Chains A and B, each alone.
Chain A
Amino acid sequence: MNTGANEGASGSARLTPSRLRPSDVVRVGGSGLRSRKTRTALSALGIMIGIAAMVGVLGLSESSQADLRKQIEALGTNLLTVAPGTGFGGGDGVLPEEAAAKISRIGPVEVTADVVTLQEQPLRNDLVNQNETNGLTAVATDLDLLDTLNGSMSAGDWFNDATASTSNVILGSVAAERHGITDVSDGVQLLIGEKWFTVIGVLEPFPLAADLDRSVLIGKAAAESVFDVELNPSIVYVRTHPDFVDDVRAVLPATADPASPEEVDASRPSELLETQDAIEDSFTNLFLGLGAVSLLVGGVGIANVMVIAVIERRNEIGLRRALGATRAHIRRQFLTEALLLSTLGGVGGIGLGITVTWAYARAQGWDVVVPTLAVVGGMAAALLIGAVAGLYPAMRAARLAPTEALRAA
C-alpha cells in the first residue's frame, strides 16, 4: 500500500489538465445555438432591433446633420439679412432706398446686395390668365446678389451692366422648373407686366434664400426704366467678416433706417438651420433612448433563453463533466453561446441599421454617413449585453454537480 501511495504522489504530478481549445469553445457554443435555430433567431432578434434602432438613428441624424452643415457652409454663417419688419408703428414695409449703400459702409461688411419685389407678375405668355403666376414673383436685383449669396448658375450667365439694364430675366431654380425652362440658348421669352423679357440664365437653388428660388429676376436698371418704380429694398443681403457677425448685426437696424430702427428685422438665416439641427438632436436622443430600452429587453430575452437552456440541458452538462469538462469549461461554453447570440443580433442590427440609413438618406437626397461610433458602439453594446445576460446562466450551469446533472430527467 505504501508503494501505491508514493506512486500516487508521483502520478499526480504528471496529471495532464483537461483542456478545451479556444476554437473548440466557439465550436461547442455555436453547435448549442445551431441545434435550436428558431429560439436562437428569436432571441437574437431582440438585440438586432435595438442595435438597428441605435445605428439607424445615429446614422440618419449624422447624415441629415452632415447635409445641414453642408447647406450652412454653402450659405456661410456670416450672411445676414435686413428686411422691413413689423415694429411698433406697424411699419410701412419698406426700407430707405439708400439702406444698402449705408450698410456697405459698415467696416466689417464685405459685400451687400439688395432686391426689390415688384408688383408686376411674371407670366409664361400672353395667353394665360393674369392669376396664373405659378406662385412666382418678379424681383429686381443688383449685380452683387450672386456674390453675396455664393450663388451659381445652372444655365446661361449672371447679369452684367448691359444685360441688367435691358429686358432680360434670370430665373430662380423653382421658377425655371415651373416654366419648364432648362435651356436659355434659344431665347425663351416671358411676360412681366405686359412687357416681354428674354431668359438669359437659370440659377442653382440658394440654400437658404428659398424666396429667390421662386423669383424671376430682372436688373434694377431695367426695372427702373421699364416699370418706373421706386427701388426701396425688400431685403438686403449682407456678407460680413466672419469674426464680426454679431457686431454687424447689432448695428444693422440703425444703419439701415436711422429714423425707425425698430421697424427693421436683422436676421441670420444660418441660425434657422442651427435650430433645426438642435431639434433633430432631441429627436435623436428620444430614439436612442428607445433603442436602449429595446436592447435591455433583448438582453433580458437572452438571459431568459440561456436560463432555460441550462435547465433543459442538465444532462448535456453532466455528460460533458463526465467527459472531463471543468466548471470553467462549462461556464465558458454557455457564456460563449450568449456572446454568439448577441453577436448575431449585433451584426444583424448593424446591417439593418446601415440599410435603413442608406435607404432613407438616399430618398432624402443626403450623403450617406454611417458613423463609426455607432457601428463600434453598437457591437460593443451587443457584446456587453451578451456577457451580462450570459453570466448568471453560465455560472448556474457550472455550479451544477455532475451527479445531479446526470440524473435522468
Chain B
Amino acid sequence: MTAGSASLRPALELVEVVKEYAGNPPVRALDDVSLRVSRGELVAIVGPSGSGKSTMLNVMGTLDLPTSGSVLIDGREVSKFSDRRLSAVRSHSIGFVFQSFFLLDGVSALDNVANGLLYSGVREHVRRARAAAALETVGLQHRLGHVPSQLSGGERQRVAIARAIVNEPSIILADEPTGNLDTASSETVMSLLRELNTSGSTIVVITHDREVAASLPRQVAFRDGRIESDSALAEAR
C-alpha cells in the first residue's frame, strides 16, 4: 500500500445502507444507499421532505445505526460498533451542525464551543484556547462572552459551526443549517461553510434551497429513501 492510496481513502462511505423504522407497515427511510465522500469535498444533499436526508446524515454521523449495510468513517467500519466506540468516533471524527443550533442556554459562546472538545479529555484551558481560535475562524472573536440569547440567529449558527470544527473532525455534517435563518444570515453561513471547505474541511450539508445546492461543488438528490441523482457520478459518466 502506498501513501497515495491512503490519502485517497474516503472520509466517509456508505455501502448498501438500509434503514428501516419498525411499524406497520415498516418505513424504509433508506433503501440501498451507497455514497462515498472523499476528503476535501463539499456535498449538498437535496430532496423532498421525508425522502430520507436526515436519516442518512444520522447514520453517517453514527447517531443511528443502519438496519443493514456498512458505514465507514475514516476507513473504520462502524455499523457494528458498541455505543462507547460510536461515541469515540463522534468525539474525534465528526462535527455536527443542526438546524436549531442546540447551544446551551446561559453558557457563553466560548464555553459552548469549548464543549466540542469536552469528551476528548482535553483540559479546560486548552479547550478554551482552541474554542477562541475556532470562534475567530467563524468571525466571532468579539462575541466570546455572549450567551446565546444575546446573539442573532446567524451568530448562533456560527457559534454552532465553531463548536463543530473545534475538534478538527474528519467530516462536518450539517442538517439544514440555514433552515431557521433569514436570507442574509443564510448567505453568511453558507459562505462560511464554503470557506471552511476551501481550507480543507470535508462537509456534507442538507439544504432545501435548490439555488444554494446548485452553487456547491456536488449535489446528491434523494427521493423515497434512494439516491435519485449524484452530480459526481453524472460527471464521471
Contact = CB atoms under 8 A, between A and B. Distances in A.
Interface of A: 3-5, 7-8, 11-12, 15-21, 23-24, 27-28, 31, 34-35, 315-316, 318-329, 401-403, 406, 408
A324 B91 contact: yes
Interface string B5-45: 11001100100000000000000000000000000000000
Given A327-B83, A406-B98, A18 B75 contact: no
Given A18-B87, A19-B121, A21-B123, A8 B116 contact: no
Task: Give chain A's interface secondary structure class.
Answer: helix
Interface of B: 1, 5-6, 9-10, 13, 58, 61, 63-64, 72, 74-77, 81, 83-85, 87-92, 94, 96, 98-100, 102, 104-107, 115-116, 118-121, 123-124, 163
B9 A7 contact: yes
A88 to B, nearest CB: 84
A329 B119 contact: yes
Contacts of A8: 72, 75-77
Contacts of B96: 322-323
Contact of A323 (B90, B105, B123): B90
Among A15, A324, A325, residue most surrounded by chain B Cβ atoms (within 10 Å)? A324
B10 to A, nearest CB: 8
Contact of A18 (B63, B84, B99): B84
Nearest to A1: B15
Given A18-B91, A328-B84, 15 more contacts: A4-B9, A7-B1, A11-B75, A15-B89, A16-B120, A17-B84, A24-B124, A35-B107, A315-B100, A321-B90, A322-B96, A322-B102, A324-B119, A402-B63, A402-B64
B120 A19 contact: yes
Nearest to B89: A15
Contact of B61 (A27, A322, A327, A401): A322
Nearest to B100: A408
The 9 closest A-B pairs by CB, nearest first: A324-B91, A19-B121, A324-B119, A326-B87, A402-B63, A7-B75, A319-B102, A18-B119, A18-B91
Contacts of B106: 34-35
B87 A325 contact: yes
Nearest to A32: B104
B181 to A, nearest CB: 15
Among B6, B13, B85, B118, residue most surrounded by chain A Cβ atoms (within 10 Å)? B118
A34 B1 CA distance: 54
Contacts of B63: 321-322, 402-403, 406
B119 A316 contact: no
16 contacts: A4-B75, A8-B76, A11-B76, A15-B89, A16-B120, A17-B88, A19-B121, A20-B119, A320-B118, A322-B61, A322-B96, A323-B91, A323-B96, A324-B92, A326-B119, A402-B58
A315 B102 contact: yes
Contacts of B124: 23-24, 27
Contacts of B120: 16, 18-19, 324
Given A16-B92, A324-B91, A406-B98, A21 B76 contact: no
A21 B122 CA distance: 8
A370 B84 CA distance: 47
Among A18, A24, A27, A35, residue most surrounded by chain B Cβ atoms (within 10 Å)? A18
A31 B102 CA distance: 16
A323 B116 CA distance: 6
Contacts of B5: 3
A408 B176 CA distance: 13
Among B6, B92, B121, residue most surrounded by chain A Cβ atoms (within 10 Å)? B121
Contacts of A316: 102, 104
A324 B91 CA distance: 4
Contact of A15 (B72, B85, B102): B85
A399 to B, nearest CB: 11
B76 to A, nearest CB: 5
Contact of B102 (A4, A401, A406): A406
Nearest to B74: A11
B58 A403 contact: yes
A408 B107 CA distance: 20
A23 B76 CA distance: 31
Nearest to A4: B75
A7 B92 contact: no
Contacts of B115: 320, 323
B85 A12 contact: yes
A182 B10 CA distance: 101
B98 A28 contact: no
A152 to B, nearest CB: 65
A35 B90 CA distance: 26
A318 B119 CA distance: 14
Contacts of A406: 63, 98, 102
Nearest to A325: B119
B67 to A, nearest CB: 14
A327 B88 CA distance: 11
B105 A15 contact: no
A35 B118 contact: no
A16 B90 CA distance: 11
A395 B96 CA distance: 25
Contact of A31 (B13, B76, B107, B116): B107
Contacts of B90: 18, 321-324
B92 to A, nearest CB: 6
A284 B69 CA distance: 68
A27 B98 CA distance: 25
A24 B77 contact: no
